[in-house]
Amino acid sequence: MSRKDYMCQESFDNRNSKIGLHVFKHLIYQSVFVLFVAILLFSEAEAAPENAVLTDVSLKSMQAVANSQAPAHLPVYRIKLRVHVANSRRSPQEFVSILSEINTIWQTQAGICFEIQIVNHDTTLADGLDMWFSPDIGGYNGYYDGEHIQMSDAPVLAHAANPARSSAARTAAHELGHALDLRHRQDSDENLMRSRTYGWQLNAYETLHARETAAEIAMKDTFPLNCGPPKIKLEEGFK
C-alpha cells in the first residue's frame, strides 16, 4: 500500500471512529434521559400512600414530560374518561392522585392521556370510556367487559422492581390497556399488561397498537400536549 493510500485509509478510519463515537454518545444521552424521567416520576413508589395529594413538583414534572413528548408519540391522543364512585368507600378527593398517575403511566410512554371526570351517578359517556369503583367486584382487581371497566377500591398486587405508586392506579391503567385493545403479556413483572403486579411498562408494539386504537376514540382536537387534572363533578346531596 502506498503512503497516499495509507493516509486515505487512516483518514477514513478516523472519520468512522468519530461517527461511531457520536452515535454512541447520542444513545447514552438518550438512555440517561429516559432513565431520569422514569426515576423522577416513580422514585417515591413504595413510600407514597395512595391518598397522597399530588404536589406542585410532580405536576410540574408531568407538564415537563408532556412538553418534551417524543415525536413518535405525537399527536397526544386525549380520551374522555368518566369515573363513577357512588359505590366506592373512598372519598372522591382520594381519586385525584390515583387517577393522575394513570395519565403519568400512559402519556409518558404512549402519548395517550385521559380527560377524567369523577362523578357520583351511573350515566355513561356517549363519546368516551366509563369506569366504576366498588369495594368488591367478585374477587377481581378489575376487569374490562368489552364496554366498561369495573374496578376494586383496593387491588392486591405482587411486587415489581420498579413499581407504580398506587395499586388502584396501576390496575386501572392495565384495564384501560384492554380497552385500547391490548392483551396480557406475562413475561415480566414489570409489564403493565401482566396480571396482578405493580409493573407499568409498555413495549414498542403495545405503544403503537394502543395509539392506533386511541386515535379512533380520542377527542378531535389534537393540539393540546396533555390532559388537565381529574375534575370532581358531584350531584347535589353526595359527600
Mean predicted confidence (pLDDT) in 153-174: 98
- Element (H or E) spanning 168, and its range? helix 167-179
Q: Is the pTM of this model over 0.75?
A: no
pLDDT band at 127 (very low <50, low <70, confident <90, very high): very high
Question: How far apart are the C-alpha atoms of 213 and 125, rounded to whole Å?
Answer: 18
Domain residue spans of the chain: 1-43, 48-232
pLDDT on residue 236? 76
- Amino acid 69: pLDDT: 67
- pLDDT band at 137, cuts 50/70/90? very high
In the numeric block, the cell 387534572 is attached to 229
Q: Over the chain, what is the mean pLDDT? A: 81
Res. 35 pLDDT band, cuts 50 70 90: very low
The reported pLDDT for the residue numbered 67 is: 54
Taking only the tens place, the pLDDT of each residue in 56-105 is 444 455 445 545 667 779 999 999 999 999 999 999 999 999 999 999 99
What confidence score (pLDDT) does residue 29 get?
A: 41
Q: What's the gap between Cα 58 and its chain centre?
A: 14
Which homologous superfamily does the CATH classification assign to the domain defined by 48-232? Collagenase (Catalytic Domain) (3.40.390.10)
Helix (H) or strand (E) holding 16: helix 3-42
Cis amide linkage into residue 135, ω under 30° from 0: no
CA 64, 67, 73, 78 dihedral sign is positive
